[in-house]
Chains A and B, each alone.
Chain A
């Protein structure tokens, strides 16, 4: 009996040690792979162009040198948005002084959320729009793009606020690959997302050395 205990103890010890020795971890590339001309390719965010809060066009290419966290929301949202935005702001605050991280919020109510209204929203959220973009674009294009970012968004008269949508925070890398996500409505998931951002940044920083 005693031997078994020792055995269990030793194997556990071995397990812990070997875990500790794992090399720098790397995040998986998420999303469904596609077959293009017979070759399997990873899911990638398609090219997009939206207007920012200063009515200037911006594209995904403008984000090629940073990793970014995005969500889909609308200003007058009575349901999940304030919570999701609170979690976005936690990420914002954590990486406030790190130029390698940006945040991007897409409105799913482009008719009412004009760039100037979004600018006001950002100011009321007390965040810097150079670091956290608030984007408006074509409605259908936004709903399509939401799917690429693992979110759903559509108009629905039967839900409060008139839009049905999910509140995932999505981490995208410099190549447009999604690397991690969290549920914006669950504050307990945010620390893991923050951690994953740090892991991703480490990947880039060690590769560049």
Chain B
């Protein structure tokens, strides 16, 4: 009987831990699918030379200061991602700092990306420096 209870406890703990794990960036994921997935795709792979990838993107990894600005103000002109040159237009949108932070944490950890996650404070600072 006792061992059964132990088993139950561990099973519950296991489930709880896993569900927490899954939910970490669920808001970011939802926002991503609603606002970015049309272009960058659910798998983050982009499309040919029209839309750059986020999955495995060296640009995303190397430019943490620029990413919040790209989300809010958009991005156009030449940009090189994983050695491929793009020259397209991405529209920006008036997301809140929290939304931007959540989306960045999602794309930085999705599809096998293991780029550092950010805090709202850091994102806020970066947004203030956008047009400089």
Tell me whether A169 is interfacial, beta carbon within 8 Å.
Answer: no
Q: How many residues of B contact A (CB 8 A)?
A: 11
Q: Taking each of B38, B39, B51, B91, which has the highest tally of chain A beta carbons within 10 Å of its own beta carbon?
A: B38
The number of inter-chain residue pairs (CB within 8 angstroms) is: 33
Q: In the complex, are the beta carbons of A125 and B49 less than 8 A apart?
A: yes
With A76-B89, A78-B91 known to touch, is A83 a contact of B48 (CB < 8 Å)?
Answer: no
**Contact flags B32-44 to A (C-beta < 8 A → 1, else 0):** 0000001101000
Q: In the complex, are the beta carbons of B47 and A82 less than 8 A apart?
A: yes
User: In angstroms, how far is the closest chain A Cβ from the Cβ of B100?
Assistant: 18
Q: In the complex, are the beta carbons of A89 and B48 less than 8 A apart?
A: yes
- Which residues of A57-83 are within 8 A (CB) of B? 76, 78-80, 82-83
For the complex, give the distance between the alpha carbons of A111 and B54 in Å.
Answer: 31
Q: How many residues of A contact B (CB 8 A)?
A: 15
For the complex, give the distance between the alpha carbons of A85 and B41 in Å.
Answer: 12
Q: In the complex, are the beta carbons of A79 and B48 less than 8 A apart?
A: no
* B residues neighboring A (CB under 8 Å): 38-39, 41, 47-51, 88-89, 91
Identify 20 new A-B residue pairs, CB closer than 8 A, beyond the known A89-B48, A125-B49, A126-B49: A76-B89, A78-B38, A78-B39, A79-B38, A82-B38, A82-B41, A82-B47, A82-B50, A82-B51, A83-B41, A85-B47, A85-B50, A89-B47, A121-B50, A123-B49, A124-B48, A124-B49, A124-B50, A126-B48, A160-B91
* A residues neighboring B (CB under 8 Å): 76, 78-80, 82-83, 85-86, 89, 121, 123-126, 160
